[in-house]
Amino acid sequence: KAGVTQTPRYLIKTRGQQVTLSCSPISGHRSVSWYQQTPGQGLQFLFEYFSETQRNKGNFPGRFSGRQFSNSRSEMNVSTLELGDSALYLCASSPRDRGYSGNTIYFGEGSWLTVV
Amino acid sequence: QKEVEQNSGPLSVPEGAIASLNCTYSDRVSQSFFWYRQYSGKSPELIMSIYSNGDKEDGRFTAQLNKASQYVSLLIRDSQPSDSATYLCAVNARIQGAQKLVFGQGTRLTINP
């Protein structure tokens, strides 16, 4: 069974640009979460999608957005990039249904974003 | 107080010894607890999940949960150099009315040959 797939793996962007990251969850998983990881802040929750709806959102500015498609694939977008957005962006999928049951999340390999 | 707290380390343990990693959490109603291992430059991978008080063993790994004291720990027996990594504790918590999986800052573990 294929794992969580994220693309692109590495990218470099310039301040002010925008970026879109893609995530394909494990087959059969309907929940997709996004996390940002930096050395200083650790792993921080961005948002979670289930059945094309955003269910949870972390404390990030509106420049960070996402969406989920009918096939559960998800994208996140960061507009007007800032130097501080340089981070590892991790997508995680879970079989979690509408009732939260503490299902385990499984991470993709991440997208390394550098903003210069 | 942070929702999930871990000692950032580094924690240095000789090969063959027991490594003990600890985590405390603030949400008393948390029900699900996870340990992830993250090698440098890699993404986190799940090691253990635990939902009930007590111990759960899987090979060289033992997770311990004490809900009354709000702590969860991970023991690694017969530590190997390949166990050197950052270990992340994750707890499900209700924050601002929504269930979220919250991670600690991680404990960096080094196993010395």
pLDDT for residue A103 is more than 80: no
Contact criterion met (CB < 8 Å) for B92 and A102: yes
- How confident is the model at residue A98, as a pLDDT? 47
Residue B27 CA to residue A116 CA, distance in Å, equals 38
pLDDT for residue B8 is more than 70: yes
Contact criterion met (CB < 8 Å) for B44 and A90: yes
Q: A46 in contact with B at a CB cutoff of 8 Å?
A: no
- How confident is the model at residue B1, as a pLDDT? 67
Mean pLDDT of A75-85: 97
* Mean predicted lDDT score pLDDT of chain A: 91
Between chain A and chain B, how many beta carbons pairs sit less than 8 Å apart? 44
Q: Report chain B residues whose CB lies below 8 A from the CB of A55.
A: 98
Q: What is the pLDDT of residues B54-76, one digit of tens each?
A: 999 999 999 999 999 999 999 99
Q: Using an 8 Å Cβ cutoff, are B48 and B101 in contact?
A: no
pLDDT for residue B112 is more than 50: yes
Mean pLDDT of B24-39: 90
Q: For chain A, give the secondary structure using H, E and C.
A: CCCCEEECCEEEECCCCCEEEEEECCCCCCEEEEEEEECCCEEEEEEEEECCEEEEECCCCCCEEEEECCCCCEEEEECCCCHHHCEEEEEEEECCCCCCCCCCCEECCCEEEEEC
- How confident is the model at residue A107, as a pLDDT? 94
- How confident is the model at residue A55, as a pLDDT? 85
The overall longest dimension of chain A from CA atoms, in Å, is: 42
Q: What share of chain A in percent tops pLDDT 90?
A: 75
- How confident is the model at residue A82, as a pLDDT? 97
- How confident is the model at residue B27, as a pLDDT? 82
Contact criterion met (CB < 8 Å) for A102 and B51: yes
pLDDT for residue B11 is more than 60: yes
Q: What is the pLDDT of residues A18-69, one digit of tens each?
A: 999 999 999 989 899 999 999 888 899 999 999 899 988 888 999 999 999 9
- How confident is the model at residue A40, as a pLDDT? 84
> CA dihedral defined by B39, B44, B47, B53, rounded to 10 degrees?
130
User: Residue B81 — φ and ψ, nearest 5°?
Assistant: -55, -30
Q: Which of B49, B100, B105 sits opposite A104 (nearest CB)?
A: B49
- Least Cα distance to B73 among B59, B89, B58, B57 occurs for B89
